[in-house]
Amino acid sequence: MPRALTIIHLAKYLPSYSGGMEAVTEELACAGVAMGARVVIVGADPGGTSPQPSRRGIELAALPVYGRLGPVPLAPDFFRLESFLQSCDVVHVHLPNPLAEAALLKYLMSTPKHLWPKIVPIMHVGMVRWPRLGRLWEALVQKPLLRRSVRLIAASRELAAGLGSMQGLSAKTEIIPFPTAPAVAQMQRTPSSGMELLAIGRLVKYKGFDLLLEALSGLQVAWKLTIIGAGPERDALVAQCRSLKITSQVSFVGHVSDGEKQQRLSSCDILVAPSRTAAEAYGLVIAEAFSYGKPVITTSLATGVAFLARGGQCGAVVPPENTAALRIALQQLLADPAKRRSCGEGNLRFWQNELTRERFAERYRATIEALTGDDPKQQLANAS
């Protein structure tokens, strides 16, 4: 009797870890469940505890972590997943995930080709933290793995074009923009003495929050900035505010609940995402702001950010690390309510057309059905 389609995700962490890759992994898994497939996420357990065995209809398989190398969890049990790989139809490996990549390539090289599952990597970002090591890793592991893959999924053509390991593989690359949840009901804004700016992300160097503070210090209009997030740069950013004499205008609120983040997105005037490097591979927070109809100022990165920014239609796009250009963009957009409204409305339309969960699931389903040649729900009905 035929069985239901089985899809395995080799993720860096399980969805309980709060990160962009994990959010996208869970969205993909939910789309698979909605198709009627059995879906399993295999990933490092971020808390070192025994997580729930399932989440939103997704099976979870936790791997113990024996330390970390930068952002990479050391989970050697990725090399002990033969039973998972032998029993599944489709494998998504979420890149970069060095141990999972190496383990999967080792399995493919030691298994007859006719026994391989369909390998469909999900490209999130290149190994930008260690560029020299990244180029070596691309040559030795990623490119051989991608050549053995039947499809690749990336969030945008700009992102795919910028990843060296994907060069020459455009014919089997599927572009599926990553989604965000819809905005909650618009909330009443509390009156303030200035325009409300919002920035969201880990307080790390590549996010460019230091550039934003420098740009804001020279503005000629009243403003307030809230920064949501925590990280190693917090003390340096607080000290920078003191040096620039803008402490009273900047609030660092750390990690917040989803409800508070939604309230901040609802009530802000502009979201600012001033990332300085290609480590900002997509920018889910930009897409979140779009769902609230907010204008966005961001930087001209050749990643998925370019897909979202649409040549400045989002609000404004400035060169990375150009404080003067960022200050001008802030000044102009803050002084132009008609443009803020127009850009916000355009961003909302773009989100509705391209970035909803429904549109994402539709594109993903079409990709999987094209590979398997059947409707997973029909397979499940046949199996029963």
What tokens does 70 get? Answer: 């930068």
pLDDT of 380: 42
Q: What is the dihedral of CA 81, 83, 87, 92, to 10 degrees?
A: 0
For the chain, the domains span 6-179+356-383, 195-354
Contact of 264 with 226, CB cutoff 8 Å: yes
Give the DSSP letter of residue 172: G
What tokens does 7 get? Answer: 């899809």
In sequence order, what DSSP letters do the residues of 290-336 get, joined into one string?
A: HHTT--EEEE--SSHHHHHHGGGTTEEEE-TT-HHHHHHHHHHHHT-
Q: Tell me how crowded residue 263 is: count the other CB atoms within 10 A of its CB.
A: 17
Greatest Cα pair distance in the chain = 72
Strand partners, 92: 9
Domain made up of 6-179+356-383: CATH architecture: 3-Layer(aba) Sandwich (3.40)
Contact of 365 with 82, CB cutoff 8 Å: no
Which one-letter amino acid corresponds to residue 240? Q
CA distance 360 to 339: 29
What pLDDT digit, counting tens, does each position of 158-178 carry? 888 877 667 778 889 999 999
Q: What is the pTM of this model?
A: 0.86
* Cα 187–Cα 228–Cα 208 angle in degrees, nearest 5: 125
Write out residues in the chain with pLDDT < 70, as ranges: 1-3, 18, 46-51, 127-131, 164-165, 185-193, 374-384
pLDDT of 369: 93
Pick the closest to residue 180 from 367, 381, 351, 297 (CA basis): 351
Q: Tell me how crowded residue 47 is: count the other CB atoms within 10 A of its CB.
A: 13
- CATH classification of 195-354 is 3.30.70.1400, yes or no? no
Work out whether strand 223-228 and strand 68-69 pair parallel, antiparallel, or are unpaired: unpaired
Give the DSSP letter of residue 368: H
Q: Tell me how crowded residue 15 is: count the other CB atoms within 10 A of its CB.
A: 25
pLDDT of 161: 80
pLDDT of 384: 38
* Alpha helices (H) in the chain, listed in sequence order: 20-34, 82-86, 98-109, 131-137, 143-147, 157-162, 209-216, 234-244, 258-267, 284-291, 304-309, 323-334, 337-354, 357-372, 376-383
pLDDT of 128: 59
pLDDT of 383: 42
pLDDT of 131: 67
CA distance 181 to 290: 11
Q: Do domains 6-179+356-383 and 195-354 have the same CATH topology?
A: yes
pLDDT of 78: 95
Report CA-CA distances (Å) from 138 to 102, 115, 164, 282: 11, 25, 7, 20
pLDDT of 382: 46
